[in-house]
Amino acid sequence: LLRMLSAKEYPYRSFLLERFGGVNNRWVNRIGLNGPWFRRTRAAKGFAALGERALNAIPAILQTGASGEMVDVLQGIGPGGLPFVLKEIENGSESVRFNSLFGLQARAYDRKTVVETWIRYTRDPSTRVRWAATTLLWAAPLKNRDVVVATLKRLEGDKDKKVAAMAKLTSQRVAMSTSDFENTLVPP
């Protein structure tokens, strides 16, 4: 399952999808361009079937890369996985912290703890991790709007231009929100 979850997109995938009309084009599907996505999706279903019996796999899951399917895996494992993800964020490398912050989008996790963690990691020494935490504040529930807006205001003055720009963009998104964000944010 971990190998399936680690399936990476083909380097030319985006170009072909743009050129030939997306995933609905039968030739694009015939050449297997969506194979990695199918493998990751099957892995997510396999982990969901295992549920909390897969808790010990969370450290390895968080090393596969941030993706919507990784979030689905963590959702399928359930709320018991939150302490494991938080431990990996605390002790992991930069890439594990980055992936873990995106993994906190699993709806099974306590939203208060998730938002507090995202806010905490907006002060991380790693620019990449601060950028991820800043981006993810868009997915915070509306009831946290005041604390999120205050955090984003602070981040608009971040020493890194990309983090500051993302703080402005996220602030605009939060200001325009009329309902809770329901999708999964995935890094580019």
Burial (Cβ within 10 Å: 0-12, 13-18, ≥19) of residue 91 = exposed
Q: What is the pLDDT of residues 105-159, one digit of tens each?
A: 999 999 999 999 999 999 999 999 999 999 999 999 999 999 999 999 999 999 9
Q: What is the pLDDT of residue 22?
A: 67
For 51, the token pair is 């549920």
Residue 66 has a pLDDT of 93
To the question of pTM greater than 0.85 for the whole model, the response is: yes
Instruction: Give the pLDDT band of residue 23 (cuts 50, 70, 90).
Output: low
pLDDT, tens digit (0-9, with 9 covering 90-100), for 1-14: 999 999 988 787 77
d(CA 167, CA 161): 10
pLDDT band for position 53 (cuts 50, 70, 90): very high
